[in-house]
Structure formats: structure tokens, C-alpha cells
Structure 1
Amino acid sequence: MKQNKKEQFKGRVRDWAEKLEIEIHIIAIRPMKRKWASCSTSGILTFDTNVLDLNPELQDYIVVHELLHFKIPNHGKLWKCLMRAHLGDYEKQEDELKEIFTAWKMAAAQVSNEA
């Protein structure tokens, strides 16, 4: 089941990369403590394993966010315009992801305090 989720998600990433005309070389999925995803100038995209459990709309936000960084390395006006062009009102997903991430960090901290 988990492998199927992983392959479906990687297919989603490849579809967005093709749509945005961005060449990616590696899609990695592994636990990350501080963020949902990262990208490198060498075409490597790394996603947190928790992304697989998010709904498709939130996955799309994370994927498009990272892919756009291959062309625009900051969160300036152009990046925001492209996010809006591809995802519409992306701030809603951004806020929801912040809430989820905060809840997961709090839960993880509680577990480590109990150990």
C-alpha cells in the first residue's frame, strides 16, 4: 500500500514537472524534520514521507512550490504570480499545511517527552 502511494505521488510530481517544463532527475521520499520538501539545483526533489498522507490538493501545493524554485529561487512577486496561475488561491493550502505541520511537531514533541 505504501509503495503504491509513493509511486502515485511520484507520478503526480512528474506530471507537474512536465506541465511546468522543469527537468527533474531524482524524486526522493524520506523523513524530514523541519520541512515538507526541498529541491537542489542538480534536479533532485526530496519530499517528507508525511506528504504521502496529505490530500491531493495539499500535495499539489508542495510539488508546485518546489518545482517553481527551479526557475525562481525565492518567494517574490513572480513566484507568487506563478503559484496563483497554477493553483489559484494557494494561500489557503499554505495556511492548512502550516497548521498540520505545527500539530505534527507538537505530537512528536509530546511523544519524545513521554519516552
Structure 2
Amino acid sequence: MQEGGAIDLKMRVIRWSVKLKVNPRIVRVYPMRRKWGSCSSAGVITLAMDLADREPEFRDFVIAHELLHLRYPHHSRLFKAIMTMHIPNWRKRDAQR
């Protein structure tokens, strides 16, 4: 992934943050071996560098998923309902992880 990939991911995070009405404290793009993204209880969103190489729909799924954890820390029914509202086919994307 090149620098432009990290910039694209961060721009997508900004757009999704507005849409989901959340405000991450920090957004980082790092090499990650085991997952595509994470959200800390301190409001830090970390995305895998190679996420930028995936298709846009998958990027949006991961970003929306991590951002929603700022509001809903667990995979509750409400979390899943909000995911479905914004990414209707998220369960299919989740299986691609």
C-alpha cells in the first residue's frame, strides 16, 4: 500500500464519522496481521494498511464496523441493527474477513 492508500482510508473514516455521528479521537493506519481494524475504549481507530487494497465496499464495511464500536462497544442487537441500516449486506462482508 502506498501513502495514498492511507489517505484514502482516513478520508473514508471522516465521511463515515459524519454519517454515523461519531468522533474518533485518533485514526491510525498500521500493518496488522490478524484483523482488518480495531477500536479502543479510548476512541482510537486502527485500520490495517492492506485494507486499502481491498474493494471499496469491504473498506466501508470495516470502517463503519469499527466506528460503530465507539458508540456500541459490543456486538449487541442494536449494533447489528445499525450496521444493517448503513451496510445492508454487512454479514456477507463479515464472512470475507
TM score, norm. by length of structure 1: 0.79
| Partners of 1:68 and 1:20 in 2: CA distance | 7
The alpha carbon displacement at 1:9 in A equals 1.3
Paired residue type of 1:93: R
* Bigger fraction of residues in helix: 1
Q: Which runs of 5+ in 2 are unaligned?
A: none
Q: Which runs of 5+ in 1 are unaligned?
A: 98-115
| Partners of 1:9 and 1:17 in 2: CA distance | 12
User: Comparing both chains, which one has the higher relative contact order based on Cα–Cα distances under 8 Å and sequence gaps of 6 or more?
Assistant: 2
TM score, norm. by length of structure 2: 0.92
RMSD (CA atoms): 1.3
The alpha carbon displacement at 1:26 in A equals 1.3
- Alignment pair present for 1:70 and 2:77: no
Paired residue type of 1:16: W
SS in 2 for 1:17: helix
The superposition leaves residues 64-89 of structure 1 with CA deviations (integer Å, 9 ceiling, x where unpaired) of 11111111111121111000000012
Residues 74-113 of structure 1 mapped to structure 2, 5 A cutoff: 74-97=74-97
Aligned residue for 1:2? 2
Aligned residue for 1:60? 60
SS in 1 for 2:46: strand
Runs of 4+ in 1 over 2 A off after TM superposition: none
Aligned residue for 2:18? 18
Aligned residue for 2:48? 48
The alpha carbon displacement at 1:41 in A equals 2.3
Aligned positions, number = 97
